[in-house]
Amino acid sequence: MTLRVQIAVFDGFDEIDVFGPYEILSVPGIQVELASLESTAPIRSMRGIVIEPQTTLTACDGIIVPGGGWGNRADAGAWGEVQRGDLPERITELAPDLPWLASVCSGGMILASAGLLADRPATTNPGCFDDFRPLVGEVIKERVVDDGDRLTAGALFCGNDLGLWIIERELGTPAADHAAASKAYARQDRVWRSGAR
């Protein structure tokens, strides 16, 4: 059975938050889709790269929310999406039907601002910790935090580690080791798991 994973894209997304996990998760057994809020019209990243989403956000086997543009309060990016509210609202609608929901970097601020990380251990870009702390149960300073149906990753390249951890959870350790080796990426093995302290 092939797992269907969506990565949310919106104007101002950080490229590495999207394409790092996308590349890592592009393995047999996982279908990865770039999904936008409500149309497949072109989306512009924070550095001006234009992409066409493959689909719209819908119930699937897991959704990853990237960051971008939080620190400078950019209108295009995670900050802007939280201010407008449509993306957090849609993710909140989908959350009960998802086996898991994940974030990379300041994408954690989108989940936290929607109340989806309330009373939970989580992480995000360290530059967001002051904004993040009041919205979560505990800020964990690790690359990846696994709280069951909520997975959060720290800044930038931590998205690669998130992707490998998702592969390990869904397909097993050998599959994750193989994915890391095939991408010439050294696994960091820094995943904090609830109940595994």
Mean predicted confidence (pLDDT) in 76-91: 98
pLDDT the model gives residue 102: 98
Domain ranges of the chain: 3-193
Q: Is the pLDDT of residue 196 over 80?
A: no
Average pLDDT score, the chain: 96
For the residues 128-149, what does the mean pLDDT come to?
98
Architecture of domain 3-193: 3-Layer(aba) Sandwich (3.40)
State pLDDT tens for residues 169-186.
999 999 999 999 999 999
The band of 9, judged by pLDDT with boundaries at 50, 70 and 90, is very high
| 40 or 171, which is more confident | 171
Listed in sequence order, the residues at least 6 apart from 18 whose beta carbon sits closer than 8 Å to its beta carbon are 7, 9, 34, 45, 66, 159
First to last CA, the chain: 32
